[in-house]
């Protein structure tokens, strides 16, 4: 039977009554069992003795009076409640040798265990990290933890296969890694727990709920360097669901994701509630702001169904909402799946009564080709962004198939074409009473939907618009209704529908106020909006187009740079390390005759870490092209490598007229100074006829 949220709360409240003897249980003072509590003496043996004696007596309370109790690994056993008094602190040792279990406190297959009392547990996590230098990437992508390296270290509190677990009125601070981890547990209550970890602490998740059932996290106050409260399913297989989990009334400051489902997602997640929480950052340093306020992810084959996010306020996060269906597909031991290796599912998601102030980054809801996010609703949502975006962000191509297996993060696509919400590969999405605003003017569309079916946009309003792009941009969208919306002053095109004839006909406007818009609905051919903004390169001779770096329009972080060895003294590249699959360059080119065309590129790569890029014509399939030589400039035919199969030479059929070339970054540092598109029957030796090898 699936418990409702109210029943779950009642069930969790009854945990203390699950063991009638607990209320009158005997007390075992750790000092009476030899603990010094002076913060210097290692008290591990004495503390474990008190726990063992309590368990042997049938359970009770192990009491920590005033003092500092230095300890290594402790094993919590059935029926034992640790009561850490307000003046008491359990202090984790700074030596890894004192952690034979690699955990500070753990319980396995235990029933009726608790940690309460108003005191604190301090893990001295700084002993297990070292500074490695300043983060050099874009501020919107990194976290404060990127500047630290984790040493071998223990985790903090770990419960595996336990039932009737209570953490209440306890402060947990300076965890070396995951702070609280419940794995395959049942009937768990975490209430009024305070977590204080440094914002730069690597992997210092606040609360990890891993394949557990009937869990309530309530009224907790969390500041941490990694995910605040995160639901996971780390083990392959389908015998360990995550079900009936409620997180409510919490305050969370995370430098990663505040409320999250994922990343590890092997078995199903059902009846999940995030409600009445405040997600925030009190820092203007982007590395200390949450990557996402709410992140809902399935990338290891899990089905997520019945997800309710309600009554959430956010302030100063980077991306308010991130929903991602991906498919890592067991591409590493850590992400292995049971057979068959298939994508998961995200469906029946409601995000209601959400307000986000001063957000840095766009929200997104994305599936993958052939696998949509389904049945998702945003209702009564207020999203405020910093704004100030670039027109190039609206024109650049958003990576798709290239990032299917990538680790999911709100910044995984780079900056998005919409300043408010970007949706792709979604079936059945309802946007009702959604308001989006920017603190600084932003030229991009407010809403972009690509490959979306059954879209309802009702009472959706933007505070402002700029005439360069449509307010709502629908690409390959089928069966869309935009109703009861208002076009803000200055709107050029209110809605642009781009796609084939059937798709654009299925977009309908009803009951909108478009008096201030120059055009209410523009019906466009595929790619028309973007191609009009790209430079045009003419043929050098019939059947031959030479496109040099400076002739292309670059999209951040791709940029034109100088090199005297390049054919024209310039090349395009992404100079920032770690920006895999971000940035690109594009242009239009015209051919006077139809035919089969091949592609050459003059490239330079320092090493195997900078030896590939993507190329495509007319937004067709992206060819993964590997450089044939390293360490010098050279010409090579563009080839396409798929998985582990040998690379094949690329050719494409082009009609007479204008086409679009796109080059996308795959590995930062790959340099391209020229691309040649030549009809297959035209004899060409680039080394002789254009520019020789450098």
Q: How far is CA 642 from the centre of its chain?
A: 26
pLDDT of residue 16: 41
Return the percentage of the chain with pLDDT > 70, whole number: 96
pLDDT of residue 400: 92
Res. 6: pLDDT tops 60: no
Per residue in 440-486, pLDDT (tens digit) is 999 999 999 999 999 999 999 998 888 889 999 999 999 999 999 99
pLDDT of residue 691: 60
Nearest Cα to Cα of residue 231 among 240, 220, 219, 221: 240
pLDDT grade for 432, boundaries at 50, 70 and 90: very high
Per residue in 656-665, pLDDT (tens digit) is 999 999 999 9
Q: What is the DSSP letter of 119?
A: -
Among 108-117, 440-449, 585-594, 638-647, the minimum mean pLDDT is found in 638-647
Higher pLDDT residue, 608 or 182?
Answer: 182
pLDDT of residue 13: 43
- In 257-344, the DSSP E strands lie at 257-265, 269-280, 292-298, 303-315, 319-325
Residue environment code for 443-480, b if the CB has 16+ CB neighbours within 10 A, otherwise e: bbbbbbbbbbbbbbbbbbbbebbbeebbbbbbbbbbeb
pLDDT of residue 693: 46
Per residue in 180-239, pLDDT (tens digit) is 999 999 999 999 999 999 999 999 999 999 999 999 999 999 999 999 999 999 999 999
**Which two tokens mark 120?**
């604190």
pLDDT grade for 2, boundaries at 50, 70 and 90: very low
Res. 358: pLDDT tops 60: yes
Contact status, residue 265 vs residue 238, Cβ threshold 8 Å: no
pLDDT of residue 20: 38
pLDDT of residue 18: 43
Per residue in 266-319, pLDDT (tens digit) is 999 999 999 999 999 999 999 999 999 999 999 999 999 999 999 999 999 999
**Which two tokens mark 138?**
């874009």
C-alpha distances out from residue 347 to 294, 302, 329, 376, 646, Å: 16, 11, 19, 7, 38
pTM over 0.85: yes
pLDDT of residue 673: 93
pLDDT of residue 11: 44
DSSP 643-684: TTSPPEE-EEEE-SEEEEEEEEESSTT-EEEEEEEEETTS--
Any idea what the Cα angle at residue 281 is, between residues 197 and 321, rounded to 5°? Answer: 110
Among 180-184, 498-502, 526-530, the minimum mean pLDDT is found in 526-530
Chain position carrying tokens 């024209």:
568
Per residue in 30-52, pLDDT (tens digit) is 999 999 999 999 999 999 999 99
As a whole number of angstroms, the distance between CA 493 and CA 284 comes to 35
The end-to-end CA distance of the chain, in Å, is 71
């Amino acid at each position: 039977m699936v418990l409702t949220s109210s029943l779950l709360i009642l069930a969790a409240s009854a945990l203390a009554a699950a063991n009638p003897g607990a209320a009158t249980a005997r007390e075992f003072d750790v000092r009476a069992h030899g603990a010094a509590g002076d913060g210097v003496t290692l008290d591990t043996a004495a503390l474990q003795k008190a726990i063992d004696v309590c368990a042997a007596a049938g359970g009770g309370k192990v009491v920590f009076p005033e003092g500092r109790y230095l300890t290594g690994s402790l094993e919590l056993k059935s029926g034992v409640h640790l009561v850490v008094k307000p003046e008491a602190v359990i202090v984790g040792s700074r030596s890894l040798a004192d952690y034979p279990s690699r955990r500070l406190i753990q319980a396995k297959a235990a029933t009726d265990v608790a940690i309460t009392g108003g005191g604190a547990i301090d893990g001295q996590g700084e002993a297990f990290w070292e500074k490695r230098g300043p983060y050099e990437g874009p501020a919107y992508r990194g976290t404060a933890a990127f500047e630290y390296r984790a040493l071998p270290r223990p985790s903090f509190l770990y419960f595996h296969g336990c039932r009737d677990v209570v953490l209440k009125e306890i402060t947990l601070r300076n965890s070396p890694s995951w702070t609280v981890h419940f794995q395959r547990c049942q009937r768990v209550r975490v209430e009024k727990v305070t977590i204080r970890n440094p914002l730069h602490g690597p992997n210092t998740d606040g609360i990890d709920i891993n394949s557990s059932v009937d869990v309530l996290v309530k009224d907790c106050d969390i500041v941490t360097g990694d995910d605040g409260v995160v639901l996971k399913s780390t083990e392959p297989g389908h015998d360990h669901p995550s079900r009936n989990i409620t997180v409510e009334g919490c305050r969370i400051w995370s430098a990663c994701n505040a409320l999250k489902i994922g990343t590890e997602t092997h078995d199903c997640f059902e009846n999940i509630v995030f409600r009445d929480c405040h997600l925030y950052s009190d820092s203007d340093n982007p590395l200390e702001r949450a990557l996402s306020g709410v992140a809902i992810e399935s990338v290891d084959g899990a089905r997520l169904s019945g997800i309710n996010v309600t009554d959430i306020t956010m302030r100063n996060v980077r991306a308010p909402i991130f929903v991602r269906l991906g498919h890592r597909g067991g591409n590493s031991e850590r992400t292995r799946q049971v057979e068959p290796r298939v994508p998961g599912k995200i469906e029946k998601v409601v995000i209601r009564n959400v307000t986000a102030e001063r957000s840095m980054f766009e929200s997104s809801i994305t599936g993958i080709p052939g696998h949509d996010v389904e049945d998702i609703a945003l209702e009564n949502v207020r999203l405020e962004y910093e704004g100030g975006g670039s027109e190039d962000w609206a024109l650049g191509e958003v990576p798709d198939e290239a990032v299917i297996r990538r680790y999911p993060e709100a910044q995984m696509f780079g900056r998005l074409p919409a300043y408010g919400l970007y949706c792709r590969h979604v079936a059945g999405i309802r946007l009702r009473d959604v308001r989006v605003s920017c603190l600084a003017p932003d030229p991009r569309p407010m809403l972009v939907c690509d490959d979306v079916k059954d879209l309802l946009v009702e009472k959706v309003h933007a505070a402002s618009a700029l005439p360069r792009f449509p307010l709502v941009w629908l690409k390959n969208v089928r069966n869309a209704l935009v109703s009861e919306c208002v076009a803000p002053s200055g709107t050029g095109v209110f809605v642009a529908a781009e796609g084939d004839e059937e798709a654009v006909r299925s977009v309908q406007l009803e009951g909108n106020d478009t008096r201030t818009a120059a055009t209410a609905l523009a019906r466009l051919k595929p790619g028309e909006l973007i191609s009009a903004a790209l430079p045009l390169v003419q043929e050098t001779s019939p059947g031959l187009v030479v496109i040099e770096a400076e002739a292309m329009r670059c999209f951040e972080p791709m940029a034109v740079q100088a090199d005297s060895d390049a054919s024209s003294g310039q090349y395009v590249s992404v100079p920032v390390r770690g920006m895999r699959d971000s940035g690109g360059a594009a242009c239009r080119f015209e051919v006077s005759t139809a035919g089969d065309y091949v592609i050459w590129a003059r490239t330079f790569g320092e090493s195997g870490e900078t030896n590939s890029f993507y190329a495509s014509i007319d937004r067709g399939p992206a060819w993964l092209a590997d450089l044939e030589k390293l360490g010098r400039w050279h010409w090579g035919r563009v080839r396409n490598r798929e998985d582990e199969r040998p690379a094949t030479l690329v050719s494409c059929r082009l009609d007479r007229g204008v086409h679009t070339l796109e080059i996308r970054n795959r590995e930062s540092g790959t340099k391209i100074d020229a691309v040649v598109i030549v009809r297959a029957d035209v004899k060409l030796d680039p080394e002789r006829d254009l520019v020789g090898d450098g």
